[in-house]
Amino acid sequence: MGLVLVSHSEQLVAGLGAIVAQFGGSEVPVALAGGTEDGRIGTTAPRIEAAIRSVLEGGAEGAVVLLDFGSALLSLEVALEMLEPEIRARVRVSDAPLVEGAFLAGVQASTGATLDEVAEAARGWQSLPKVPEA
């Protein structure tokens, strides 16, 4: 299974992709959709659509999409509408926080888990306080 990382910033997803490769291993397919076509901060549907297609066409059975905030979701929804139903069926959108979710999903994907297991792993952080003593 592969991951698609969506953020307003191209640099942010580049760094996050490196984290996933480090912890999950380079065998986990990761596609990045950060920033706009002209290098600005933002998200665009065509970039997200291309990232999803690249992961699935690269051989991954499915893809979990993790995103940051605000308009990322709107762009993602438009991107998903561009996908053929059989392609769309192989995509799960994660509600997880982008960084933590990508880390958890990346490690889970590296174990050969199913699409739903990877998506479920990403959600895990919602039940874990970052600062347990707080």
Partner 1 sequence: MAELHLTVLDPAGLHARPAAKVVKVASRFESRIVLRSGNRAVDVKSLIAVLGLTIRPMSEITLTAEGPDADVALAALVDELGAAVTQSSDGSAVALAPDGATVQP
Q: Give contact residues for partner 1 (rule: CB under 8 A).
A: 22-25, 103-104, 107-108, 110-113, 121, 124-125, 127-128, 132
Cβ closest to partner 1, residue 37 vs residue 130:
130
Helices 98-110/10-24 angle, 10° precision = 30
- Rounded Cα distance between 96 and 38, Å, is 28
Of residues 46 and 124, the one with the C-beta less far from partner 1: 124
Active-site residue, selected from the candidate residues 2, 6, 8, 51: 8
Q: Which is nearer to partner 1, 22 or 71 (CB)?
A: 22
Helix axes of 115-123 and 98-110: crossing angle, nearest 10 degrees: 140
DSSP classification of residue 57: H
Least CB distance from residue 78 to partner 1, whole Å? 31
Q: How far is the CB of 98 from partner 1 (least distance, A)?
A: 16
Of the candidates 124, 131, 116, 66, the one whose C-alpha atom is nearest the C-alpha of residue 94 is 66
Told to judge if 78 belongs to the known catalytic residues of this protein, a careful annotator would answer: no
Active site amino acids: 8
